[in-house]
Amino acid sequence: MREMDPSSGEPSAISRRSFLKGATQVAAAGGIIGGAPASEQGTAVEPEVETLSGSSSMELLVNGKSRSVEVQPRTTLLHALRNQMKPPLTGTKEVCGTGSCGACTVLIDGQPAYSCLTLAVTCAGRPVTTVEGFGSADAMSDVQQSFCDKDGMMCGFCTPGFVVATHAALDRAPKATLDELKYELSGNFCRCGTYPHVFDAAQAVQKDRARGEDGR
Amino acid sequence: MSRPTSGPVASDPSWGNRSDLDVLNRDIPRVDGPVKATGEAVYTHDVRLPDMLWARVLVHPVPRAEIESIDVEAASEMPGVVHIEALKEPGDAVRYLGDDAVLAVVAAETPDQAADALGAIVVKARRLAPVVTPEQALKEGAPVVSRRRKADSNVGRANERGDEAVADAALAGAVAVVERTFVVPIQHHVCLETHGHVVQPAPDNEQVTVYASTQSVGGTPRGLARTLGRDASKIRVLTPHMGGGFGSKFGPGLEGALAARVANVTGRPVHLMLTRADEFAIAGNRSGSRQKLKVGADSDGRLVGLKLEADKLGGVSGGSLPGPPYIYTVTDGAAVFSKIRSVHTATDGSRAMRAPGHPQASFAMEAAVDELGYLLGMDLVDIRIRNLESAVHHRQLRRVAEEIGWADHPNRDRPGAAVNGRAVGIGFGVSVWGPGGRSSRCDVTVRPDGSVVSATATQDLGTGARTYVAAIVAEELGLTVDMVEARIGDSDLPPSVTSGGSVTTGSSAPAIKDAAHKAREGLEALLTDVLEAPVGSYVWKDGRVSVRGDASRSLPWIAVCALLREPLLAQGEFRDFLHEGRIHGAQAAKVEVDTLTGRVKVLKMVTCQDQGLPLNRLALRSQINGGMVQALSYGLLEQRVFDEQDGFLLSDNLDLYKIAGSQEIPEMVALIDDEDERPSVCGMAEAPVIPGHSAIAGAIHNACGARLTRMPFTADNVLETLYGKI
């Protein structure tokens, strides 16, 4: 069904270079939610870059720590986090794999992005924050605590993506109205239908943070 | 060593007076919230074991074919491939797009290597006519795709009820008659965690461990026993967390059997989760239907006759549709006639999905009631109350009508018309469910150090089950929820039920209560010498026990537990009188229709729902909201779409199969029906998903006069209904 690359024993229907370049642009256009325009993001791989095949090692800066990870040019950031890192970071979930649902949302350079549409190699030198980077069960972030208080979760499979997206939304638009919050969170799906309580959780954080500012 | 409590118990357990409750019937944040909100919760999808293989299945892309060859040789030589196996021989048929279309399984050292190997399998097959629509299935000379024995067509046996002549006569005498054909598409469960398992093999004398995304930790060992070649007791199934089931995850399925087989053959742990595309193709759905419904009413708005001819569209399965009249009453039961049959296509069989068959029936029946109301000039709430037997429905309908602003709405007995292209309407629907309860067990252990464990082999699908496993015990022993450890999701724990049909709460909560009560009486037996009062005369509250009526004779919890020389084990079982069998709900929806573009925007939804004693009001409102959201999504967005010519499933991803996102979500009001004072508990998750899309369809009609008879309520559907063309 696929052409074989005799040198590597791996399928190679198109050249790595054209694949890498094309995929990066796709990732830039579809993977960054409301981030910089695609034209600014598509420059991560210059045409002169050395063509690689197989796996190579790279450093990812995840939750403030440098993590060494073996990746292929096609490896997504999501798969690098979940499958390649030792130990793996499985808080970030894979649900659709096509940039539709937001379960894989992480921050890259502080901006929310779909890690399923972002190639790991494009993240070299860029800080990545996953849901684990915001807090732990013993020391939750205000957003995580609010999701618990307001029951902004049922099965919980979408929750990591929603937590990251909510952090990003409240950083970008701290005074967002309910309609604006719905827009900010529109890149994430929940199947259990927990949305009303997610909105409650986000609004409670807004109130708490505003109170904190008033108190200063 | 722990010892079971023995001797006669002093009293039966009871849920107590609502006014005395300190933990239950309040908002209880779920106990697994922190691990879910931080990504620490480990789902089957997330299990990583040393030396684990990654498995994938190859699904044939179209429903029907004759296999000429499946060549796995090149694939087997791909890097990292450890096991590869074709599941069909030359000459075998692919009979439908479902588990029968799984052609091969591959296991490799990494997920990418498994995917690469899958792509290197060379399949030669002759495609056959697809048979993916009921029209194709019913066409003269259509290939028989039904799996029924000796089937000579794609039509199942019709289930006929009632006397058609009696129904016809009643309808002929009716003052108002409505006749419509309703078309309901096939819906997918879209569990965010796909179906799958991680199987860790073990020597014969040890337990195989299976992580499963399942609604039945208790049933899964039996489902895998034959494949694993060992007794179910030698298989331990763990479901610490699971990412949604909605009725689609009752058994291990082919994917579970294949994971088990590959683990057996290779002797290594195997991770096999379906991809999203696989999930859409082979992991079940809610059956569609075509319902030709005719209903008549007398001048008082009483339903007097009904005829239903329906096709259930469940692919190779039968599909589901309850018989008419759905929830409503026809004055003379003899004047109800129905003929319901299954029409089979070569597509994945339907599975249970949250209230199987009920949302489909609701869509047709609520529409008929609306239209009869309009024909007779009756208020839409009044005609419902006239034809609903239960006074619970009456009060719930009045309550949701009040909350949605019905009294001030101009179109109460006739549809409205658009002003400047915009029209606002309100619609209603009702639900019932009878979950009941069945055998279930729970162990509560109190240790001398004051720690408490409540353990039962249930699973938390997102319902909050884990939370009440702790909270019920906390209430009985006067503790806070965090002082009780809930252990669930493990088939080695005391058995409980498969979570389907809202049976979990009605089954497991009584067993938990019973165990907690026995633990309490076991502790009270120790106290008779210390506080000098008999068993049954103590109050457990705020982390202390005191003698009823004499607060001075009191001990803190930790001092009570210190009296134990060994852990106290209390074994609880299902107690019939602690559960309720039947629940009711009513919903209202308010929508705005743009009659120029056909766009429907839901403005508000309201549900009023009863369930006996609410265990956790916060989780209950989540479930009610979830029912409304899923019904909204079903009504506005969802349908499975096949390419009818070649048989490709077009809607096999979340771009083309739409589900509701945050921008579709209106104001939602989840009202817990506190006028239901039954002193017992009941599951309720099925009910709120039943009538929401019907209420939305009613609201669209109420807004602008467009009675949509097929779902989903897309812009083109609205425009075509309004103007006869787009």
Q: Is B190 on the interface with A (CB under 8 A)?
A: yes
Q: Is B559 on the interface with A (CB under 8 A)?
A: no
| Token pair listed for A33 | 């939610």
Instruction: For residue B462, list chain A residues with Cβ-Cβ distance below 8 A.
Output: 153-156, 192
**Distance of alpha carbon B715 from alpha carbon B697, whole angstroms:** 13
Which of B102, B18, B117, B12 has the alpha carbon at shortest distance from B65?
B102
Which of B630, B623, B607 has the alpha carbon at shortest distance from B682?
B623
High-pLDDT (> 70) share of chain B, %: 98
| Sequence-ordered list of residues with C-beta below 8 angstroms from that of B641, at least 6 positions apart, any chain | B649, B650, B651, B656, B657
How high is the pLDDT of residue A215?
A: 63
How high is the pLDDT of residue A212?
A: 86
In our burial notation (b when 16+ CB lie closer than 10 A, e otherwise), range B54-90 reads: bbbbbbbbbbbbebeebebeebbebebbbbbebbbee
How high is the pLDDT of residue B149?
A: 84
* Model confidence pLDDT, tens digit, residues B82-114: 999 999 999 999 999 999 999 999 999 999 999
Q: Which CATH architecture has domain B44-60+65-128+190-282?
A: 2-Layer Sandwich (3.30)
Question: What's the 3-state SS for B419-476?
Answer: ECCEEEEEEEEEEEECCCCCCCEEEEEECCCCCEEEECECCCCCCCHHHHHHHHHHHH
Q: Coil, strand or helix: which one is B570?
A: strand
Instruction: Summarize the confidence of residues B452-475 as an average pLDDT.
Output: 98
How high is the pLDDT of residue A24?
A: 40
Residues A89 and A33 in one domain: yes
Return the higher-pLDDT residue of B726 and B620: B620
CATH code of residue A192: 1.10.150.120
Banded model confidence at residue A52, pLDDT cuts 50, 70, 90: low
Domain C-terminal end among A101, A133, A165: A133
| Sequence-ordered list of residues with C-beta below 8 angstroms from that of A179, at least 6 positions apart, any chain | none
Burial environment of residue A134 by CB neighbours within 10 A (0 to 12, 13 to 18, 19 or more): buried
Which of B82, B91, B126, B89 has the alpha carbon at shortest distance from B104?
B89
Q: Is there a contact between B496 and B457 (Cβ–Cβ < 8 Å)?
A: yes
| Same fold across B3-30+437-578 and B44-60+65-128+190-282 | yes
* Model confidence pLDDT, tens digit, residues B275-330: 999 999 999 999 999 999 999 999 999 999 999 999 999 999 999 999 999 999 99
Return the higher-pLDDT residue of A32 and B635: B635
Instruction: Please check whether residue A7 lies inside any domain of the structure.
Output: no
Residues A100 and A152 in one domain: no
Which of B408, B326, B319 has the alpha carbon at shortest distance from B367?
B326
Dihedral of CA A140/A144/A150/A151: which sign? Answer: negative
> Are B40 and A185 an interchain contact pair (Cβ–Cβ within 8 Å)?
no
* Model confidence pLDDT, tens digit, residues B592-617: 999 999 999 999 999 999 999 999 99
Q: Where are the domains of chain B?
A: 3-30+437-578, 44-60+65-128+190-282
Rg over alpha carbons for chain A, rounded to the nearest Å, is 19
Cα atoms found within 13 Å of the Cα of residue B49, Cβ hemisphere only = 19
H or E stretch at A204: helix A195-215
Most A CBs within 10 Å: which of B38, B191, B654, B665, as the mutation test of the A interface? B38
Instruction: Please check whether residue A50 lies inside any domain of the structure.
Output: no
Residues A125 and A151 in one domain: no
Residues A148 and A185 in one domain: yes
Q: Which CATH architecture has domain B3-30+437-578?
A: 2-Layer Sandwich (3.30)
Residue A62 has pLDDT above 80, yes or no: yes
Domain C-terminal end among A87, A115, A133: A133
* Model confidence pLDDT, tens digit, residues B372-405: 999 999 999 999 999 999 999 999 999 999 999 9
String of DSSP letters for B95-120: -SBSGGGEEEEEEESSHHHHHHHHHT
How high is the pLDDT of residue B148?
A: 82
How high is the pLDDT of residue B150?
A: 87
| Token pair listed for B487 | 């252990």
How high is the pLDDT of residue B7?
A: 46
Residue B223 has pLDDT above 80, yes or no: yes
Q: Coil, strand or helix: which one is B212?
A: strand
> How many CB atoms are located within 10 Å of the residue A7 CB?
9
> How many CB atoms are located within 10 Å of the residue A42 CB?
16
Q: Is B32 on the interface with A (CB under 8 A)?
A: yes
How high is the pLDDT of residue B580?
A: 87
How high is the pLDDT of residue A45?
A: 52
How high is the pLDDT of residue B9?
A: 52
Instruction: Cite the beta strand spans of A53-143 per DSSP E.
Output: 56-62, 65-71, 105-108, 111-114, 127-129
* Model confidence pLDDT, tens digit, residues B677-692: 999 999 999 999 999 9
| Token pair listed for B140 | 């003269």
Q: How many residues does chain A have?
A: 216
Q: What is the mean pLDDT of chain B?
A: 96
How high is the pLDDT of residue A164?
A: 98
* Model confidence pLDDT, tens digit, residues B552-590: 999 999 999 999 999 999 999 999 999 988 999 999 999
Q: Is B41 on the interface with A (CB under 8 A)?
A: yes
Instruction: Please check whether residue A51 lies inside any domain of the structure.
Output: no
Residue whose structure tokens are 């005369």:
B537
Return the higher-pLDDT residue of A40 and A44: A44
> Are A1 and B38 an interchain contact pair (Cβ–Cβ within 8 Å)?
no
Residues A116 and A166 in one domain: no
Rg over alpha carbons for chain B, rounded to the nearest Å, is 28
Residues A106 and A25 in one domain: yes
**Distance of alpha carbon B662 from alpha carbon A189, whole angstroms:** 8
Q: Is B71 on the interface with A (CB under 8 A)?
A: no
Residues A121 and A86 in one domain: yes
How high is the pLDDT of residue A213?
A: 81
How high is the pLDDT of residue A51?
A: 62
Question: What's the 3-state SS for A126-152?
Answer: CEEECHHHCCECCECCHHHHHHHHCCC
Instruction: For residue B123, list chain A residues with Cβ-Cβ distance below 8 A.
Output: 1
Q: How far is CA B111 from the centre of its chain?
A: 31
Residue A15 has pLDDT above 70, yes or no: no
H or E stretch at B81: strand B81-86
* Model confidence pLDDT, tens digit, residues B401-455: 999 999 999 999 999 998 999 999 999 999 999 998 999 999 999 999 999 999 9
Residue A30 has pLDDT above 50, yes or no: no
Which of A65, A62, A24 has the alpha carbon at shortest distance from A43?
A24
Instruction: Summarize the confidence of residues A164-182 as an average pLDDT.
Output: 98
Residue range of the domain that includes A155: 142-215
Residues A19 and A73 in one domain: yes
Instruction: Summarize the confidence of residues B66-89 as an average pLDDT.
Output: 98
Q: How many residues does chain B have?
A: 726
Residues A94 and A191 in one domain: no
Q: For residue B295, what is the DSSP state?
A: E
CATH code of residue A75: 3.10.20.30
Residues A19 and A36 in one domain: yes
Instruction: Please check whether residue A6 lies inside any domain of the structure.
Output: no
Instruction: For residue B36, list chain A residues with Cβ-Cβ distance below 8 A.
Output: 153, 156, 159
| Token pair listed for B76 | 């087997």
Instruction: For residue A155, list chain B residues with Cβ-Cβ distance below 8 A.
Output: 191-193, 241-244, 461-462
How high is the pLDDT of residue A49?
A: 64
How high is the pLDDT of residue A54?
A: 82
B337 CA: distance to closest CA in chain A (Å)? 37
| Token pair listed for B256 | 């579970």
Which of B146, B155, B150 has the alpha carbon at shortest distance from B95?
B146
Domain C-terminal end among A106, A133, A160: A133
| Token pair listed for B643 | 């390419």
| Number of folded domains that form chain A | 2
Which of B465, B420, B422 has the alpha carbon at shortest distance from B440?
B465
Residues A33 and A91 in one domain: yes
